């Protein structure tokens, strides 16, 4: 199979591939997704197969209009509807996935993971929205990487994992946020719950809904548990390259560099420019830039930077300070890491 790179002018052709049940990767503002039309059970099942994804890990459905949230879900409670409208008015299109009751007969169990809820979002990317509109039905879109590996933020990342294995990819510039969407469960209007952190923070949500109780419920479910996760990233190991990942705080990383112990030729350092300025020139590195926002944007690219370097066995990755702004960064890095060193 040859994986076709679609341009914006080929929107109709990309949509036709999806309507035929083929897989097409697509860009969003967060990461690239692996797309299949959501009303074709065989196509959706092939997403799980291509990724090697556990079957109880639900998929997020991507729509092209704000009103599609109500069209494809079973929001009948007035309070729930009011919450949904406020959130979509303020944050859609954008990096917010809403967990809502699913409407009977719309999405099969391969989409929902066998749950009575479904995650829906409207991505902020003109090319992808045009393809969904042309397809005529929402598309599922887990991150376009092999299951457990770092999410892709460029077309090259997608092709590294899936070239020759999927029908196509929408050709686009790198994503500008770099981590997956915030997932907010609004199925219980009495208590909304963040199931996965992202660019939209708990503070953002509380500012949008000041009268609403919103909690952080990002706790991990054990992989051997029979409990089905409501959102991706809650149960299974994610974001891990083939090397050992050590998450290490700014000060501890500077101490390690100064001691010159542990940074062998088999090690690479992924950190801010300020940290990297203290390193010997011959050590493999990847820059996370000069500020925390840039670091979040570049984290997955850093974790993928040494994909094809079998000589690198260990990645030391700077662990940003534990602040609300860094919640998504820390969540993804700590899921990838086998060890944490923090002062």
Residue numbers in the known binding site are: 30, 53, 57, 62, 117, 121, 143, 151, 181, 196, 239
* Letter string b/e over residues 91-106, b meaning 16 or more CB atoms within 10 A of that residue's CB: bbbbbbbbbbbbeeeb
62, 109, 155, 275, 327 from 249: Cα distances, Å: 36, 41, 31, 11, 14
DSSP codes, 260-317: T-S--TTEEEEE-HHHHTTS-TTS-EEE--SSHHHHHHHHHHHHHTTTT-TT--EEEE
Write the CB contacts of 189 (distance below 8 Å, at least 6 apart in sequence): 77, 79, 80, 83
59, 152, 304, 305 from 309: Cα distances, Å: 31, 18, 10, 9
Q: Are 146 and 52 in contact (CB under 8 A)?
A: yes
Q: How far apart are CA 156 and CA 5, in angstroms?
A: 11
Structure tokens at 310: 């079998």
4 φ, ψ to 5°? -85, 140
Specify the length of the chain in residues: 343
Write the CB contacts of 197 (distance below 8 Å, at least 6 apart in sequence): 182, 216, 218, 327, 328, 331
Binding residues for L-threonine: 30, 62, 121, 181
Q: Are 198 and 183 in contact (CB under 8 A)?
A: yes
Q: How far apart are CA 244 and CA 162, in angstroms?
A: 23
Q: The tokens 């097409």 sit on which residue?
A: 24
Q: The tokens 């503070």 sit on which residue?
A: 203
């Amino acid at each position: 199979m040859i994986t076709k790179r679609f341009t914006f002018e080929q929107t109709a052709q990309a949509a036709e591939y999806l309507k035929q049940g083929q897989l097409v990767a697509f860009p969003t503002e967060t990461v690239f997704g692996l797309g299949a039309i959501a009303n074709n059970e065989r196509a959706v099942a092939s997403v799980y197969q291509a990724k090697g994804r556990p079957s109880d890990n639900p998929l997020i459905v991507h729509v092209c209009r704000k009103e599609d949230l109500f069209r494809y879900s079973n929001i009948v409670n007035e309070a729930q509807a009011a919450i949904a409208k406020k959130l979509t008015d303020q944050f859609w299109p954008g990096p917010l996935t809403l967990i809502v009751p699913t409407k009977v007969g719309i999405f099969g169990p391969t989409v929902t993971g066998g749950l009575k809820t479904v995650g829906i979002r409207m991505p902020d990317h003109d090319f992808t929205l045009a393809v969904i509109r042309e397809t005529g039905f929402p598309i599922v879109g887990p991150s376009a990487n092999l299951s457990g590996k770092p999410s892709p933020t460029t077309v090259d990342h997608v092709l590294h994992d899936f070239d020759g294995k999927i029908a196509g990819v929408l050709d686009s510039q790198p994503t500008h946020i770099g981590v997956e969407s915030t997932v907010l469960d609004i199925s219980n209007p009495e208590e909304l719950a963040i199931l996965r952190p992202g660019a939209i923070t708990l503070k953002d949500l509380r500012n949008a809904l000041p009268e609403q109780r919103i909690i952080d419920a990002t706790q991990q479910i054990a992989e051997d548990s029979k409990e089905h996760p409501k959102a991706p990233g809650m149960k299974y190991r994610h974001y891990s390259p083939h090397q050992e990942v050590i998450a290490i705080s700014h000060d501890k990383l500077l101490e390690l560099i100064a001691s010159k112990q542990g940074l062998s030729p088999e090690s690479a350092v992924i950190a801010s420019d300020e940290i990297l300025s203290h390193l010997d020139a011959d050590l493999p590195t990847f820059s996370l830039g000069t500020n925390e926002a840039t670091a979040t944007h570049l984290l997955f690219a850093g974790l993928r930077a040494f994909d094809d370097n079998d000589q690198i066995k260990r990645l030391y990755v700077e662990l940003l300070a534990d602040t609300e702004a860094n919640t998504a960064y820390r969540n993804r890095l700590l899921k990838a890491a086998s060890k944490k060193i923090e002062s």
